[in-house]
Amino acid sequence: MNKLVNDTVLDRLVKEDADEAVVASALELARSAFTAWKTVPISERSQLLRAVRSQLLNHMDEMVETIAEETGKVITEAIVSEVVVACEVLSYYASHAQDILHTRSVFPGLLIHKRACIRYEPLGVIGVISPWNYPLVLAIGPVATALAAGNSVILKPSEYTPKTGVLIAKLIARAGGPEGLVQVLTGHGPTGEALVRSGVDKIAFTGSVRSGKAVMRAAADHLTPVLLELGGKDPFIVCKDADLDRAARACVWGSFTNCGQTCMATERVYAVKEVYDIFLDKVLALTARLRQGNEPGDDVGAVIHEGQLGIIDSHLADALDKGARVAYGGKHVDVAGRPSIQPTVLLDVDHSMAVMTEETFGPLLPIMKVEDEDEALRLANDSRYGLNASIFAKDPRTIEKLVAGIRSGNVCVNDVMISYGIPALPFGGIGDSGFGRSHGPEGLKEMSHLKSVAEDRFGLGREPSWMPVPSWLSRAVKTGLRLLYRPGRAGLYNSTGQPLYVNGSRVES
């Protein structure tokens, strides 16, 4: 472990708020580390990711205990939703970064006497601002993609989960990460703002819509590009032919895992009238069986802090004032010294209520009866968010209609929240849920500069269009265009859209 990321230094960071001077110093070191790291072959960068995965497994107990301590989530959630997904993300990019980032030749179209290619090159220093609800996996994703693409990283974890952020930096240092390659700076809002304004080459931010807008405003001063993964108000549609047992289990887990503090959580349910009563009975029976606490066998943990509990309480009170009723839960509880609230099922809800329109980020499950799938789709799209959606149905035509019609960056069919656990799938939202993509090839390219290269193949003395322009050029171009694009022809492409020529040689259709 290098001298600047040893355990003593990192542990001290937990108690400190990095100011502008500290951020500037970190940026200088990160730029120095980037100069060397960008020349490291992708295969060796992949080896570092595998080594980080090994360190995570070696120190899994410490990581899980730290996450549970800082967030209040149960141990099982910390293992399954954090460590498992983190290992998958590290494995995916270690295995696929080489293929995703290789220089790609493209067909030059009419200019068949040219070569054309796309290169993927690192951006520089990536600032990662990660949230408290999944402090490991929502930090390791952008960190891993940044490293695989050849960048250095400055990580600013949430002020509520600084120990987890520091532990991530320890794992990378123990895996052999060079000095300054990944630095962690702890602190509150001013630290994050200082990082955004520091002149880093990109910001990857995960958090609330309000904070995301503040990040964009601060980033505008340097025209710093941003990747924003913001909130969600994710709909859950239960169709008349759904497997109700599976749908109910998915609904309860999707709403109450991590005490509802998940951007992809089930935050509003639309069940068609034919199955509403049966579905509701199943949800209530499952909810009644949940165990809330911080013991290994418990199902639901705690709300992160009293501020978040206040938001949850305000949504609950607003719903009750407007005619909703509590079918289960609704009471405050103490979970290992943390004020929290029971998993709560709400009925008689509508879109006049904040609980159906604003992100709650807590264990409130509002269920609304709808006339049919068309009404469910209309209400699902009646939102400024668009992160994730779940659809439960059997008819392929219904599924296709809803998948195609729903306004969302991600859709789970007969499942819930699982898309984030598939690292090959790009993840991100539309509308107030943000823009840009993490995971998949797109996530790696987000951390890259795309450089287009065009090259002359033959070294001719001049091009026909260069000045002085030949007198015959206009007439020849007109004739050529009419021949090339006459009705029934696709120019230099065949009927499937593939080029007819590669490197000057005709390809058989």
Residues annotated as part of the active site: 229, 263
Q: What is the CA radius of gyration of the chain?
A: 26
- Residue 184's identity, in one-letter code, is V
Residue whose C-alpha is closest to residue 172's, from 154, 149, 199, 196: 154
Q: DSSP 3-state assignment of 211? A: helix
CB atoms within 10 A of CB 84: 12
CB 417 within 8 A of CB 255: no
- Residue 102's identity, in one-letter code, is H
Q: DSSP 3-state assignment of 56? A: helix
Six token digits for residue 183: 């630095």
CB 172 within 8 A of CB 121: no
Those residues with Cβ within 8 angstroms of residue 466's Cβ, 6 or more apart along the chain or in another chain: none
Residue 245: half-sphere exposure toward Cβ, Cα within 13 Å: 0
Which ranges constitute the DSSP H helices of 328-420? 354-357, 373-380, 396-405
According to DSSP, the β-strands at 332-335 and 338-341 are antiparallel
